[in-house]
Structure 1
Amino acid sequence: MTHDRRSFLKLAASTAAVTAATTLPQFARAQAKKPINIGFIALTDCASIVMAQELGYFKKYGVEVNVIKQASWAATRDGLLSGDLQAAHCLFGMPLSVYTGIGGPAGKELPIAMILDNNGQGIALENSFKAAGGDPKAAGEMIRKLVASGKAPTFAVTFPGGTHDIWMRYWLANAGVNQSKVGIITVPPPQMVANMKVGNMDGFCVGEPWPGVAVQQGIGFTHLTTQQLWRNHPEKALVLNKEFSARRDEVKAVMRAVLDASAWLDSLPNRRQAAKVISASKYVNASADVIEGRLEGKYDMGGIIGNKQFLGDQMMFSRAGQTNLPRHGHAIWFLAQYVRFGLLKTAPDYQAVAEKLIMDDLYREVAKEAGLKVPNDDMATIKTTIDGWTFDPKNPAAYIKAHPLPS
């Protein structure tokens, strides 16, 4: 047994001992009659769910949990809708996409309990784009030349209307490329690297560790991280089955456990241990070294970019509670992108959709009990990093009008 493994087991054992002694009575009473099934996808940002299980935090708050790996975001959606999953690690955009009919049956509610992480996704391009480095305009020029020559490239995303889909479309528009001129296909996250290796796509947008794995295997480079697109953007969320969302005490217990794990993960010395745990085949099934490097903000971007550091804006799980509040304004930003990119033909009732799906009242209650300060920026203006554009969630129509797509 390695020193690191012994250290982790010692940490887990001491955590369990302390938490058993400090379990709150109200959470003990929330003990589920049967285990709560929580789904996750093989991505680095499943870490707060996995570590809540591995460190005994779910047990601390009186809930028994099964953490269940899912094959794709579509499978996760179906599990939540059917009730086979009570909760899941999900793309923040998935509930919005499903409710509006882009990525599922319109009108079906998948409530968003909290945000799991900011940042830490990437756009990877295959090596023929290497000369573009990290310059979207240069990449866009190369794409336009390919389109003009009748060799339009294909790019992969992970779910229609999900965060990766919007990051990809946003990047294309910023690069001066009309999305209709290229192929955009859906591929599950763990299958991205293999598909690019055999030439099924020219680039993809997905969460870590897969952009890092593409670099490790020499088949592509990380052209852009999503923190370079929108610093501290919402990424994954704890999303609930509609019926389970009414079991308030159990939901609160799950959220407290995940908040504890999120704070543990944002202590950077813990990230090496987290990388070793989640790298296992039953979780992410990828090199611990690749996971660890990018968790710590130390990126080998590959290509001509080389090493780059992101300190304080790499993947973040808590930021003392700044990360975890689900914000109506963020939901409205995504809904506005759906309209801007033609995924929705008519504008939705932005505020009504956000209020239907964002459980900020529950988060505020849980955060107060956990002693976390709740940010006062629910409907604050958003500024994207890549272009400096501002978005007022009180007036999405003006934003859409001001930012037409490239021809």
Structure 2
Amino acid sequence: MKTFKLNQKILTKSIFVIVLSISAIFSSVSAQEPIKLGFIPLTDCSPIVMAKELGLFKKYGVEVIVTKESSWANVRDKILTGELDGAHCLYSMPFSVYTGVGGKAGSEMKIAMMLNNNGQAITLSNDFCGKVGFKDMAKAGPVVAAKLKAKKEVTFAMTFPGGTHDLWLRNWLALAKINQKTSKIITIPPPQMVANMKVGNMDGFCVGEPWGGVAAMQKVGFTQIATQDIWKDHPEKALVVNKDFSAKRKADLVKVMKAVMEACIWLDVPANRKKTADIIGKAPYVNANNDVIEDRLNGEYNLGCNLGKKIYKGDQMAFHKGGMVNFPRKSHAIWAMAQFVRFGYLKTAPNYKAIADKLILTDLYKEVAASMKIKVPADDMKPFSLTMDKTVFNPANPAAYLKVVKN
């Protein structure tokens, strides 16, 4: 009887140990759930796609699934709900969403690092071919005004309210002295831009490459200006992450950032751009002509409309530049939010600095940069001007800028 009781105790204890072991195994598996990163089919999704293709996520010890998403609104929703842990994202989107311009006010999406500068474009339909030339801002306004008078309405497209493409388009309209209140501005997902222009749904659009290049190649429209002409080395896409993911899986986020950073460094080597174009041009990614992707990555722009070729050297799409690209600057966040006020999205000024502080993971970026021996630029919060609009923007005093800037 004693032996039975003893064996029963040993059995009970063994079962308890087994249960604990199984629980530990499941906890370990749960902690290592794959990280889900989304992207939109654009050339500047390359840091995330190439980090995957080059095996850099595995190198840093994280399993990452990359998924093609249909629209920026879809990316926003999935990051906020946690269906995506992060994504290749318009850098101004978190500020647009938080302020209520492009989502539910107060919703937090965190910027971990920047992915690229430059490489977007304003494309005009062939209706304007021969009437306005490349970078000819003096003619752009009168030509659009003439069509507006004849048609009663001129339509332009961008990709997300308050997103970068929206801001570049509105700055272009202001530079061309086109009244934005008389222009219709619609939202179209990037891969659908060319098809919509082909059937006459818009007179012009602003989007990332390769879609400006594809429009020119297909003779649907022409590149009137590249965004680096409006603002050389402007911020563009960011690695944006879910709030809980950044807090609860910080160590994994650091590994993701290191992999993406290494991909950015690799992408800035000119010899690697053909391989990049060959990979991201495939159907699972951008699904566009490799030659167009490669040319515009290399700064070789066939403009369309018999305008010839424009060569960008030093101001084509960039992904690293010794860390100058990847540092997420609060001054750029404040500039974007000032545009929301400037263009009527917000009736009153938001708390610029507090929002930038809340949504940008500056300390985490500096930690990653230090571990990789990458220099952090010392230019944040210093006044700057855009290349075409010479108005000085002081991030410490956006109100002064808004008093003098033109819509």
Q: Structure 1 length normalisation: TM-score?
A: 0.91
> 1:263: how far off?
0.3
CA distance in 2: counterparts of 1:318 and 1:193, whole angstroms: 29
CA contact under 8 A between 1:30 and 1:249: conserved in structure 2? no
Partner of 1:211: 212
Q: Identical aligned pairs, as a percentage?
A: 57
In structure 2, give the amino acid aligned to 1:66: I
* 2:384 corresponds to 1:385: no
In structure 2, C-alpha distance between the alignment counterparts of 1:203 and 1:129, rounded to whole Å:
10
Q: Distance in 2 between matches of 1:30 and 1:60?
A: 19
* CA distance, structure 1, for counterparts of residue 97 and residue 208 of structure 2: 20
Question: Aligned residue for 2:294?
Answer: 292
Distance apart, 1:285 and its partner CA? 0.2
Report the aligned-residue RMSD. Answer: 1.3
Tell me the alpha carbon deviations over residues 235-284 of structure 1, each in whole angstroms, 9 at most, x when there is no partner: 00000001001121111100000000000000010000000000000000
**Partners of 1:203 and 1:116 in 2: how far apart?**
26
Tell me whether 1:359 sits opposite 2:353 in the alignment. no
1:380/1:32 Cα in 2 relative to 1: closer, same or farther (>3 Å)? Answer: farther
- The answer for the alignment partner of 1:169 in structure 2 is 170
**Residue 345 of structure 2 is aligned to residue 346 of structure 1:** no
Structure 1 counterpart SS, 2:377: coil
Describe the superposition over 1:166-220 as per-residue Cα deviations: whole angstroms up to 9, x where unpaired.
1001100110012111110000000000000000001100000000000010010
Check whether the contact 2:174–2:406 (CA below 8 A) recurs between aligned residues: no
8 Å Cα contact 2:341/2:349 also seen in 1: yes
Which residue of the partner structure matches residue 118 of structure 1?
Answer: 117
1:389 deviates by 2.2
Contact 1:297 1:310 in 2 (8 A): yes
Q: In the aligned structure 1, how far is the partner of 2:45 from the partner of 2:195?
A: 21
Residue 31 of structure 1: CA displacement?
10
State the shift of 1:360 in Å: 1.2
CA gap 1:43/1:266 in 2 versus in 1, 3 angstroms: same
C-alpha separation in 1, matches of 2:340 and 2:138: 23
Q: Distance in 2 between matches of 1:203 and 1:31?
A: 48
CA drift at 1:293: 0.2
- SS of 1:391's partner is coil
* Aligned equivalents of 1:363, 1:227: Cα separation in 2: 25
- Name whichever of 214-223 and 124-133 sits farther off: 124-133
Cα shift at 1:403 = 1.2
Residue type at the aligned position of 1:329: S
Q: Deviations over 1:149-169 (max 9, x none)?
A: 343210000000000001001
Residues 257/143 of structure 1: CA separation in 2 closer, same or farther (3 Å cut): same
Give the TM-score normalised by structure 2: 0.91
CA–CA distance in structure 2, aligned partners of residues 345 and 388 of structure 1: 25
Superposition pairs of residues 137-152 of structure 1, within 5 angstroms: 137-152=138-153
Contact 1:215–1:301, Cα closer than 8 Å, also in 2? yes
What does residue 56 of structure 2 align with?
Answer: 57
Shift, 1:312, TM fit = 1.1
- Give the secondary-structure state (helix, strand or coil) at the position aligned to 2:265: helix
CA contact 1:31–1:63 (8 Å) conserved in 2: no
What SS does structure 2 have at the residue aligned with 1:331?
Answer: helix
How far apart, CA to CA, are the structure 1 residues paired with 2:125 and 2:169? 15
Task: Mark the runs of 5 or more structure 2 residues left unpaired by the alignment.
Answer: 1-27
List alignment gaps of at least 5 residues for structure 1: 1-28
**Contact 1:133 1:304 (C-alpha < 8 Å) held by counterparts:** no
| Pair 354,129 (structure 1): closer, same or farther in 2 beyond 3 Å | same
**C-alpha contact (below 8 Å) 2:123/2:225 kept by paired residues:** yes
Q: What is the CA–CA distance in structure 2 between the aligned matches of 1:291 and 1:237, rounded to whole Å? A: 20
The aligned counterpart of 2:222 is 221
Find the residue that maps to 1:76 and give its secondary structure.
helix
Counterpart contact for 1:32–1:250, Cα < 8 Å: no
The count of residues paired between Structure 1 and Structure 2 equals: 377
> Which segment drifts farther, 141-150 or 385-394?
141-150
Which SS does the other structure have where 1:271 is aligned? helix
Instruction: Give 3-state SS (helix, strand or coil) of 1:299's partner.
Output: strand
Q: Which residue of 1 aligns with 2:11?
A: none
Max radius of gyration: which structure? 2
Displacement, 1:30? 12
Separation in structure 2 between the aligned mates of residue 370 and residue 351 of structure 1, nearest angstrom: 28
Q: Secondary structure at the match of 2:109?
A: coil
In 1, distance between residues paired with 2:322 and 2:281?
A: 25
Q: Distance in 1 between matches of 2:397 and 2:219?
A: 44
Amino acid at match of 1:92: Y
Instruction: Say whether residues 1:133 and 2:136 are aligned partners.
Output: no
Residue 88 of structure 2 aligns to a residue whose secondary structure is strand
Partner of 1:22: none
Q: What is the identity, as a one-letter code, of the residue corresponding to 1:128? A: D
- Secondary structure of 1:243's counterpart equals helix
1:317 and 1:324 in contact (8 A); partners too: yes
The answer to whether residue 252 in structure 2 is matched with residue 244 in structure 1 is: no
State the 1:381 CA deviation.
1.4
**Within 5 Å, which residues of 2 pair with 1:32-71?**
33-71=32-70
Q: Deviations over 1:313-340 (max 9, x none)?
A: 1000000110000000000000001000
CA distance in 1, matches of 2:77, 2:386: 32
Output the amino acid matched with 1:296: N
| Aligned-pair CA distance for 1:32 | 5.2
Alignment check: 8 A CA contact 1:30 1:253 kept: no
Contact 1:117 1:236 in 2 (8 A): yes
Number of the residue aligned with 1:398: 400
Aligned counterparts of 1:309 and 1:378: Cα–Cα separation in 2: 30
Paired position in structure 2 for 1:6: none
Q: Aligned AA for 2:173?
A: L
Counterparts of 1:71-90 in structure 2, within 5 Å, are 71-90=70-89
| Deviation of 1:305 (Å) | 2.5
